[in-house]
Structure formats: structure tokens, C-alpha cells
Structure 1
Amino acid sequence: MYIRQLCTQVYLLDKLEVSHFWVFLVYKQDRQNALDLIFTDTHNVIEFTKDTEKIYRDGVTSENITVRFVYQETSRAASIVHKSLTNSSVAVIELRPRRSNLLCPAPNSAVAYMSVGCPSGRHIRVQLPDGDNCTEKANPMYNNGYTIPAGRWADLITNKISKEDKFVKIPEGAYLCQVCCCMYLPVPGLLLQEPTRARSAVAEIGCPIFVGNEEPFRPVLEMYDYNKFVKLVKADFVLWEVNGRVDYAYTHNAEQMLCLRSAQSWSKMRELSNYSLPPEELWGADNYMSCYHLDEDDEYITEEEHHLKYEVLNYTSPNRITFNHDYDSLLVFKVKVVDSQSSFCDLSATFAVTIKGIVVPRDLKDIALANYAVLTAIVLSLIATYVWFHRRTIDRQIPMQETKAESFPAVGYIKT
């Protein structure tokens, strides 16, 4: 009797993942048998281990075999896998008993194929806070669009701070019923002209995450295969604001993060690319270098670089971003996993953050003039009220004095 646990014939093995195959064989003790594992991997990038457990009872032997497959990460394997992803290199796994019986109803062999690469439908999402209800916090001020003031956004390629306001238009009809919402909620997307593309951009963003002013924030990433949750992403990632906003900051520098070598940053990556690439192509798994890995030829971090902000985030890292302003605003971020050891997939996601603050007009002169006018009006009204009451009091006291003088005439005294 031969039972197998091979649900499909083709398996994709991603980095940091383990695939298990389970096989169960039952045979009589007087007819010794065993299971043979035949594994063919022309590139030798997958390694496996086999655990066997035998149970003897009533003259019958039950043999339980579990095979564990894992991707073997080496520099040679990385080069081979990079080529195999385009050449569709596949390893062959075959499990079969040494002795078989044609009368046995179970299959006599099991064949599966394993490929190293990105599983179909794999992507990441940004986790929403527990109990966050978009419908209760929907802000109508973003229905048509919003303005980013001058000095608070920069060109995404050159990083040059703009001296003009930027209006981010939300295309008409760009609404999406989100999982966390009970109604159609307008959420801002990119500045796109085609309605279909606009809806797609909004669909990527999902429900905005509400963050308080100066509250440290770090997005939590979740990995999904289609709609099935896989795990939390604990790899290094970076983020940027898709409309170029720069009014946010990182909480930790390289010294606080205990970096051994110079840490990568957006400014350094732009300089290396000669200010010619968009953020999507600027920084990724192909050129990311952790500041904790120091090779023999690398130099230790300098005192000046110690004080530079650390612009890489991680699920377990204390580094956060803060929004140092007290006005209502909305930021649309794109997050990208840059750790080359985490996955073969290009993992990125878009999400929105709404900062709840006090709405302050952009022109402070208007505030000063308005406050001056209000204070002047209050002072003048108080003076006018005082004068009016003072005059009324005087006008009332004069007739009363005259009445008292008439009621009590002067009395003369005779001296004796």
C-alpha cells in the first residue's frame, strides 16, 4: 500500500521557504520493502533532508517518510537561479517503492516538479490597524483633490525642492469599496488622466491609515498568495511618497542603529544614478547593501556618517517615520522590499496615510491680520460699552441730585 501527499505536480520554492512531502508505505514484514527518493537537480540549488519513521504491528510494517526541500543560498546559486528564472529550469522529484504489486490499488510512484522562483500571485499588503473603520473617518476635504504647499514636495528624480504649489487631482468617480469599509470611500490616487488607470491606482492604495501628529509610525507588511495570508514580512524595506512630499522624517540615525559601514540613503542612490532614475528603479534588491555586513575591503563608518538619518525600515527595527506638522494632510506612500535574501518576488505596495492635526492657513500674514482685526474689534467694543454705561450712569445721577435738593430745603439756626 502506497499513499502520497502531493497535491499538485509543480511547486515553486521561494527564498526562506521550506516544502515538505509526506509519503506513507505499508507492507508485510515477510516481504521487505522501502521507499526510494530520486531527486534530479541539474543546478544543485535545492537541498533536501529525509526523515523515516517505521512502526511494526501485527506482522505489518508502516513506513512514514517526510522529505524537506529548501533553497540553498550561495553566490553560485544566486547566479544560477538568475539564469534559471528565464530558462525555466525545473528539478524532478520521484518517490517509488522498491517492490510494487500491480494488484495494489494505490499508485506505484509519485512524480513532482520543483522550480526555484516567485510563486504565482505572491504580493505584499500594508496591515491596517485593528478596528480601523474608514467610513467613520472619511474626510470630505479630499473628495476632489488636495494641494501640497510649496517647499513641502520635491521632484522624484532630482530631489529638487519646488517653489510652487502642487495640486493632486483625484479623478472623478475614483471610488472603491474596501474590505475595511462598509461604503464607497473616496481615497486619493495618483495624478492620472485615464479613469480606468485612476481606479486601478486607487485600488492599490486601499483605506488610509490615520496617524497623529509627531506620532512615530512604521508600516507593517503582510505577504499574500492571491488572497491567502502567508506571513508577516520581516525583511528590510524602503518607502517614498509618490507625489514627492518631503515633510516627514526618520527617527533614528546610523549611530543609533549601530551600523558598521556607511548606510545607503535616497540621496546617495540618486547621486550614484546621476539623478536619472525614478524611485522604483533607484533602490532595490539588486543593489541593496546592509550597513551591518562589513566585507574585508569595506571601510568602517565615519563620524560624520554616524549622524545621518537611517532610511531603511524593518519589522523589528526601532526606526520609524514622523510627520512634523500640525495641519491636516494626506500622504500616499509606496513601500518596496529591498532585502535580496527575502524573496525572488518584486514585493511592493502602495498605501495612504492621513495626518490628523489643526488646519492652519498657509499664509501666516493672513492669520496675523485676522487676529489683529478681531482683537481690535473686541477692544473697541469694550471701550464703547464702557463709555456708554459711564454716560448713562452720569445722566441718572444728575436728576437724582436735583430732586434731593428740592425735597430738603436749607434750615437756618438762630444763635442765642
Structure 2
Amino acid sequence: MKSGRKLSTTAIWTSTDVHLGYGDNVFIRITDTSKLQKILGFPEDVSLSLGTVSYDSCPAEIALLVACIGCSSSRMFYVVTYNEDRYIWVLRNFFLSAPSKGFMKMEFMYSALPSMLLWNKTSMYYSYRNNTAYGFPPVHETNVTPAEYTNGSSIHQIVIDYSGNIVIKMQNNIMFFFKFDLIDVILLPRWENESKNTVLYLNPSGNLYIVVINSSGIHRQNYPLKMEVHGTSYSLFDECPYLAFHHNIDLNVYYLDKGDEVTFWAQILFQENLGLFVDVRIHRPELLEQATHVEYEIAHEICTKNQTITFYQNVDYSESLDYMKTVHETTGVMTVEVRPSMTGRACSTVRKLSYLFVGCPPSRHIVIQKPPGITCIKHNFTSYKLPGNFLWHSSPKDTVTDYDWDKYGCLMEVYYRDPFRPEIALYDGNTFVKMVEANYILWEIKGRTDFGYNSSMGDVGCSREAQNWFSLLENHKNQEIELDDIWGPQNYNSCFEFSHKNLQDLSQQYHILNHSGSNSLIWNTEQSGIYVFKVKILDPNFSFCDLKTFFAVHTYGIVESPDIAKTIMFSIFVLSLFLGILVLSYFKYARIFQTLRYIDPLPSPGLQNHTKESSQGLKKDQ
């Protein structure tokens, strides 16, 4: 649904209140009879009670069968619907005299306009297409009801398939056939006698079975409904009024975003004198514009009618004074039913019902495409440094931040002198849809400011000053608001529209990019760095989805100049070390020279003669 909330899957109720069930066993009470009485404007002196709750064939709508005592001279049934998507209650154009006690079962048929069956043990009531046709269906060519026809046997079971075929099983095992859009029932051949205990079972494929329950077990028999109906219709001279009916509606649900359209065609062949046509019924036609084309051909008394109908949006959201209100009013689910204008019991062609979901398609998202010639590398680090002097909140110290590879992806390596403009692709799940040519904005999520844009407002041809991050942040400076919500399709104003105001300063950088423009990102030329950007589609006419994604860039190629302070400190350190070594060397050698002053390098002459005489005397003694 358009609000993003899931629809309920279960409804439980009492005579006074209704609860809707969602996943994880969560149940929410949506109303009670006291609130319902006030919401729908029933008089205060009446008494309401709830009897049956059923899901409508129109998505997000739940119908309540309400009994009112005091609304008329007798007890009356009314049908009230609740729309889960739009949160509104509606009293439908339906009322029926009710028995003094009890309720009727209620089941909706597969139809664009609300159509339903109500029944209890004694009677059955049909209401087609917003109660434009209604009544108690009699048995064919009689004025009696099935209960009267079977001598008072009660209705045991009613089974409805997707094609609008209805089988009514009585307690005595007599069965009748009823068809959506017809007003009477026909008797089917008896298959089981009155004494057997049987029930009908319709599987998801539309096959009907008779299940016989006895003492030996449960036995299933295939019931050839189509053959039995054709045989009975043939004996009643009841033929299908058309020869063939074809269409191209292949899906049960079509998703239409802004700018999307879908075209259906249908063809009907019939005898010349019958005047049939392709009947298109639509629930919530205000959601989409329609263009219809009909072609008609007659050959050999056979008429062929081809009808083509295109559904599209014709809303310019950029001109809306209240963007969110306009989006709410133009999104939702349109139901389209394509069928022959006349049918019969012998017709086997299935009319087609399809839902056109106008809103954000599920799984729609954007992906950044790597430009040609740019490598994208996944490193093994988990954190990196941010220069403190290049942040929104400048700091003398650098900071360290985490890098989430799963969230931001690989780093695109971009040369620091090359302008860069990301290419954005639109995907539905894993299916490529198209390249995004709409305007978009981006911001660096870590707070870096050392990048810019290579085009000014004047360069791109603005007629007035364009929106930019500085002006929008200034407008919201006293508000606690996320960057995601400051600027987007909801408040986008084009600078290319003429304004009588002063042109102001068009030399400022232009902060909006697109696929075909020349505006691109430019980088810091002093040092390389890592930039993590978040991208958001800005064009209010592009998509109902809030399209955002991340990408990261690493600039390279800068030969960074040395830090002067560090260089001076290093030079002082080296000089101090050199001087220290020089001083130490001086004192060491000075000490050595002082020691050498007290050592006589040559012995005295007297000492030499004395030594020589002593040596000669020693030789004589020997």
C-alpha cells in the first residue's frame, strides 16, 4: 500500500467491535459500534450490531455487515467499508430487510465494482456493481428459491471461484449453478444421494471436488463442473452470446510510477445483430487519466470490436503548492475489469481483473554506475582519517571515522584534477529499468567540505538564484532535522523559471547535478582523500519513491608538500644531534691531548748511557 504499512491478513470480530490481524500475531482494534454510529451519522437512539466481516475484492477495503434496530420499522442490514490505506469509513448504498434474529454470511466476488453474495440457511441474495443490480435469484424458469425448490432443504455450502462460477449445495446434496452477472440459478445433475455426508472443495487452481465423508474415511471425487454446466445449458438452449473474447492483460498487478503508463487491449467477436462490446469497469478512476480507442469491423455477418485503453498520469508535481498532499491524493490502487458486455452460463472465457498500483513500485532503487576508465577497489581497512580543517565543524585535530564496505561499496579511484559526475541507474530488484536523467543532489555524509562544483548558477542558465545547501541549512538552522529532509522533491524550486525578483548572486556554485548537464564535482588540490556521498533524486516528477544511495570516491595523484612545522622541527632535531655529537667529540679529544702532555716521547741521554753500561757489565760476567 502507498503508506508503506502492510495490509491486514486476518479479521476477527464480536457483535460490538472489530480487530485486524497483522504479522507476528499483532491485532489492532479498528472500531466498535459506538464509534461507528458516530462516524457514519446513525441516530443516537438506534442499536447497531456487527454480524459478518469480509475482505472486499478492492484492495485495502474490509466490509462489515451491520444490523440496525431502530433505523426502520424492521431490522435492517447495512454494509459499511473501511479502507486501510486511506483510513476512511464509508456507508455503502446497500440496505436489506433482515430477519428478526441472526445474520447472513457474506462473500465478495472478483469484480472491479463491489459485488457480493449474502446467504443464510434459507435464502441467498446477490448485489452486483455497487448495488446497481440485486435480488434473490430464483431457479431458472420458476419463481421459487432453491430452498423452496428442494422442499425446504437448507443451504449447506456455497462455493465461488475466480471466474464468477458459483455452486450452491443444499443439505440434501442437490446442487445448483449460479454465475456472476446472471439473475437465476439452474439445477445440476445429482451426484450423491441425500443420505451421504458431503462437502465441496475448491482448490487454488479452480478445480472443484466433492468430498465424501463416511465411516471408512474421506474420499475425494473430481466434479466436472464445466461439462455439467454445458450439458444443462444446452438442454435449456442457453448459448454464449459471443464467439470469442481475447485480451492482453497478463498480470494481476501492474505498478505505475510517475511518468509510467500501461496499455490494455481487448477483442470480442459476435454475431452481427447482437451489438456486444468490451465493457471496462474501473474502481477509483480518478487516479489515472484514460485514453480509449475503438475499432470496428464486420465480415461475413461476424462483428469484431477491438478496444485499446491507455492509463497514464497527467500531474505536474513541481507546480503543486502542497507536494505531500498531492502525492497522497494521486496514489493508491485502481481496479480495472475487462469483460464482455453480455455473458451466459455456457461462456467459458474468464473476464480479467487487474490492479494498477499507482505509487512507488516495490524493490525500486537506484545504483551508482562506475564510469568507464575508473577503477573501483575494495581495500581491507575499516577506518580512515578525516582532516579536521576541512570539516563542517572545523577542528585543529584530524578525526578517525569508520568505513562500512557493505553500505558504501568500493572506492572509485578518481584523479584529483578530473571533474566527476556519478551516473545513476534505476532498478526494480535486480532488473535494470533505465538510466536516471532527472536532477539529483548529494552531500558528504562525514562532513567534509573540501570539494565543490565546476559550474555556477549563471553557467547553467539560471534565471534567478538557485537553491543550495548553504541557504537551505540557514533556513533550518534552529530546527532539529536530518539532512535527508532538508532538501528534496517536496520543496524543490527550479531556478530556470522567470522571476521578477532581483537576480541576486548567480556566481555561486550550482549544487544540482543531472545526467545531461556539465556540472560536476571538483576536488581538493592540496591532499588526497576519501569522500563518502549520499545521493538523492530531487526531481518531483521522477518517482514516488524516496530514491537514495551511497557511493565513495578516493582521489589520487597529489604530490603533497611537506609540513613546514614538521620540517623545521626535524631540521632542529638533526642540527641539535649534530652539534651534540660535535661537542662530545671535542671534549673527548681534548681529554686525550691533555693526557699526552705528561708522557716524554724520548728517554734522556744519562739514562741511555746507564742502561748501556749495565748491559755491557752483564755480558762480561757471563
* Fold conserved between structures, TM > 0.5: yes
Are the counterparts in 1 of residues 464 and 506 from structure 2 also a CA contact under 8 Å? no
- Asked if the contact 2:364/2:426 (under 8 Å) is kept, the reply is yes
Q: Give the secondary-structure state (helix, strand or coil) at the position aligned to 2:328.
A: helix
Residue type of the alignment partner of 2:417: E
**Comparing 58-67 with 365-374, which one deviates more in the overlay?**
365-374
Deviation at 1:131, TM superposition (A): 7.1
Match of 1:17?
A: 260
> What is the aligned partner in structure 1 of residue 356 from structure 2?
114
> Could you tell me which residue of structure 2 aligns to residue 126 of structure 1?
368
State the partner residue of 1:259. 462
- Separation of aligned partners in 1, 2:396 and 2:478: 19
Task: State the AA in 1 paired with 2:384.
Answer: Y
8 A contact 1:51–1:65 mirrored in 2: yes
* 1:33 maps onto 2:271 in alignment: no
Task: State the distance in 1 between where 2:323 and 2:345 align.
Answer: 44
Q: Confirm or deny that 1:145 pairs with 2:383.
A: yes
State whether residues 213 and 326 of structure 1, in contact with CA within 8 Å, keep that contact through their aligned partners in structure 2: no
Which one of 394, 405, 411 corresponds to residue 161 of structure 1?
A: 394
Report the CA distance shift for 1:51/1:346 in structure 2 as closer, same or farther (over 3 A).
same
Query: Closer, same or farther in 2 for the Cα pair 1:77/1:113, shift >3 Å?
Result: farther
Return the offset for 1:60: 4.5
Tell me how far apart the structure 1 counterparts of residues 522 and 343 of structure 2 sit (CA, whole Å). 67
Structure showing the higher helix proportion among its residues:
1
Contact 1:24–1:64, Cα closer than 8 Å, also in 2: yes
- Residue 300 to residue 53, structure 1, CA distance change in 2 (3 Å): farther
- Listed one character per residue, the Cα deviations across residues 39-63 of structure 1 (whole Å, up to 9, x for unaligned) are 3426x24101123345666664444
Tell me the alpha carbon deviations over residues 8-53 of structure 1, each in whole angstroms, 9 at most, x when there is no partner: 33333221111222323333446543212223426x2410112334
Partner of 1:395: none
The 3 A distance-change label for structure 1 pair 105 and 76 is farther
Larger radius of gyration: 2
Paired residues for 1:184-203 under 5 Å = 188-189=403-404, 202-203=405-406
- For residues 83-130 of structure 1, the C-alpha deviation after alignment (integer angstroms, 9 at most, x for no partner) is 348xx84333222222334434321x2222334221111111111234
Write the distance in 1 (CA, Å) between the matches of 2:565 and 2:527.
Answer: 17
- List gaps (5 residues or longer) in structure 1: 155-159, 170-187, 190-201, 375-416
Moved more, 63-72 or 332-341: 63-72
Please give the secondary structure, in 1, of the residue aligned with 2:543. coil
Q: Which has the higher contact order (CA 8 A, sep 6+)?
A: 1
Q: Matched residues, percent identical?
A: 28
Matched, 1:286 2:490: yes
Gaps of 5+ in 2: 1-243, 575-622
Q: Is the 8 A contact 1:149 1:362 kept in 2?
A: no
Q: Is the 8 A contact 2:375 2:413 kept in 1?
A: no
Task: Return the match for 1:335 from 530, 535, 542.
Answer: 535
Give the residue type in structure 2 aligned to 1:117: G
Equivalenced residues, count: 327
Verify the 8 A CA contact 1:12 1:115 in the aligned structure 2. Answer: yes
What's the Cα RMSD here? 3.0
Match for residue 503 of structure 2 among 262, 280, 301: 301
- Matched residue type, 1:118: C
CA contact (8 A) 1:122 1:226 kept: yes
Q: Residue 218 of structure 1 aligns with which residue?
A: 421
Q: By percentage of residues, which structure has more strand?
A: 2
Asked if the contact 1:45–1:72 (Cα under 8 Å) also holds between the matched residues in 2, the reply is: no
1:243 and 2:446 are equivalent in the alignment: yes
1:242 deviates by 0.9
Q: CA offsets per residue over residues 144-187 of structure 1, 9 Å max, x none?
A: 42111221122xxxxx3333211113xxxxxxxxxxxxxxxxxx
Partner residue of 1:208 out of 403, 406, 411: 411
Q: CA deviation at 1:315?
A: 1.1
TM-score norm. by structure 1 comes to 0.70
CA 5–81 in structure 1, closer or farther in 2 if over 3 Å, else same: farther
